[in-house]
Amino acid sequence: MNDAAASLFQPFPMRDLEIPNRIVMAPMTRARAGKERVPNSIMAEYYAQRSAAGLIITEATTISGRANGWNESPGIYTDSMIEGWKQVVDAVHSAGGRIFLQLLHCGRASHSSFLNGQQPVAASAIKIEGDGVHTANGKQPHETPRALQANEISDIVAEYRKAAESGKQAGFDGIEVHSANGYLLDSFLQSRTNHRTDEFGGSIENRYRMLGMVVNAIAEVWPVNRIGVRLSPNGNFNDMGSADYRQQFTFVAEQLEEFGLAYLHVMDGLAFGFHELGEPMTLADFRKVFHGPLMGNCGYTYDSAQQRIAEGDADLIAFGRPFISNPDLVERFANGIELNPDADMSTWYSPTGSQGYTDFPVAANV
């Protein structure tokens, strides 16, 4: 490792959790949990292979049956799911790693075929304009969601709390709240998708209310310094992007600053799509109002990650796609070893067992 690499490889005190480097494995849906959505031994192998990351964030994990919206993705709402995740966590810990559980409600990005024929739910009854939802019966058109009633929101908040409690039972090191990419919580945050006139809509403050309730509920189970939150201020995934995104996400970061979170995870990069409603929000923008651990994500290379860390704009950088085909990504970065070719995208989400999942060579075996 040369001097230029030093800051990316420095240990970092993430509140009370010391992590050995600033390289985070980003949450990535991989659809290997089977039809029952129960984590299994091949998932344990996959995560353990990548345990040299300073921190692993799991793939999005649904908080209840009515939160589902992706084929064969894992949940955390049954005893068998908790036991399955224990297997994963134990494997990561045995390999010396640290792992946070990312909690998700798909909201309007789901489909009635995942929900026993019920409509997806969202902040408002606004359909995603896009090419459809991948379901067990092939791609289906997006459906118009049902706007949640105000009295239903507390039930969903309670599901987040119960899921966080289940994550503690499974032995995770912490929880990440997925409030990005057009899923349920993001649909409340953004004016594009939140046209409500009650206490959960209208003003920037009201649109933040549900996320604040979720973080407070999880903080009844976990210390706040073991809770992270993910945001996507620049993204257009799931038909997102709001004219007042700068005001909204600055306010959200200011509110989250008050908690003393483990970290704020910002998808600042544009590789996942940009709404082009103004200048992108940068990590430097967030650093002005959020002074706790700050994580960047989306399209980073080794060099760009090193620059953000070295310049103080971020404390941590999450890598997604490079971790798919490089289980030893940290070692490759540290020693200047060429990365494996990108994985075949057709294997990313298909339940193909080890193919495109746990079968990538590590540098020591090349």
What are the residues whose beta carbons fall under 8 Å from the beta carbon of 350, sequence distance 6 or more? 31, 356
140: tokens are 């289906």
Question: Cα separation of 93 and 156, whole Å?
Answer: 30
**CB-CB contact of 244 with 189 (8 Å):** no
Is 357 annotated as catalytic?
no
What are the residues whose beta carbons fall under 8 Å from the beta carbon of 322, sequence distance 6 or more? 329, 339
**CB-CB contact of 90 with 175 (8 Å):** no
Residue by residue, DSSP assigns 253-284 as: HHHHHTTT-SEEEE---STT----SSSPP-HH
| Distance, CA of 248 to chain centre | 19
What are the residues whose beta carbons fall under 8 Å from the beta carbon of 341, sequence distance 6 or more? 325
Question: Cα separation of 265 and 170, whole Å?
Answer: 23
What are the residues whose beta carbons fall under 8 Å from the beta carbon of 43, sequence distance 6 or more? 30, 32, 33, 74, 84, 87, 88
User: Which residues face 263 on adjacent strands?
Assistant: 228
Identify the CA nearest to 108 among candidates 139, 74, 75, 148. Answer: 148
**CB-CB contact of 78 with 154 (8 Å):** no
Catalytic residue chosen out of the listed positions 46, 77, 183, 208: 183
Phi, psi of 109 (to 5 degrees): -80, 0
Residues annotated as catalytic are 183
